[in-house]
Structure 1
Amino acid sequence: MTLPLHPNRPAEIEDFLARTGWGDARRSLLAGDASFRRYDRVVKPDGRRAVLMDAPPPMENVRPFIGMDRYLCRLGLSAPTLLAADTDLGFLLLEDLGDDSFTSLLRDGTADPVPLYETAIDVLVDLRGAPAPAAPASSTAAATS
């Protein structure tokens, strides 16, 4: 579900990108999810890429996402590196992990499915044995959490 931007949002996005050194980046909309969040791929003239998450308060709260990202990293699992954040405005700049997903790799036949499924099982086993995360389960939790 991709909703139209609030009238002030484009200027806030431009300001955030400028403050974080990404003001010269070209933006392109990525597929959305079932939330109020929007995702843009940002590409600098030198080719560096990142993902801009726009999670407009009060409908969204980026703090649980940050908490879960840190939790997964502490477990030694792969999660996007947080490059910059403005939690009050609901902006995150994240490492761009690319377009490959298990589904696309399996559908395209570009990967052997056995190692993918083995990796997925290993991650589930690691998560099952890890202490529960402190972050709320939903990114739509109250902005004060």
Structure 2
Amino acid sequence: MTNNRGFTLIELLVVVLIIGILSAVALPQYTISVEKARLTEGFITAKAITDSMQRYKQMHTDSCPTEKTGIDADLQGGTWNADGKVFSTKNFTFTIATGCQVNVCRRDGTDTTCIVSWTQVIPASDGSSPRTNVANDGTTDGKKLADFVGAL
């Protein structure tokens, strides 16, 4: 009599099926977590730039910085372009625009085409609240964008 110590085909198929089910449940959650991390990165950098611009505006009689020399925020994970108006990270570009605005554009991987953009406007010295303008070309989930902009 022989003693076979291997697994049967049925046992192996059950294990593969269980692993497949666990993967199907975990992958969407992982994707959502990655998206939240990217949006958080953009939010933190946008807030750092706008807060720095707000301080500059208060110290310089309501004039706005037009380049990075007016930004005292400690920005990490990106670089400024040659004229100091655009700060780029892996997922976002932040452009200092006229009128105390920071235009933020989310990038899709290595593609430089913007798929979501919003503008954070610095509040005026009279205490009026900031405005946030959002443009969405429909290629991104509008709820995620609305949640992100609501956090600004």
TM over 0.5: no
The alignment's TM-score, normalised by the length of structure 2, stands at 0.26
Between structure 1 and structure 2, the one with the greater Rg is 2
Higher helix share goes to which structure? 2
Higher strand share goes to which structure? 2
Greater RCO, 1 or 2 (C-alpha within 8 Å, sep 6+): 1
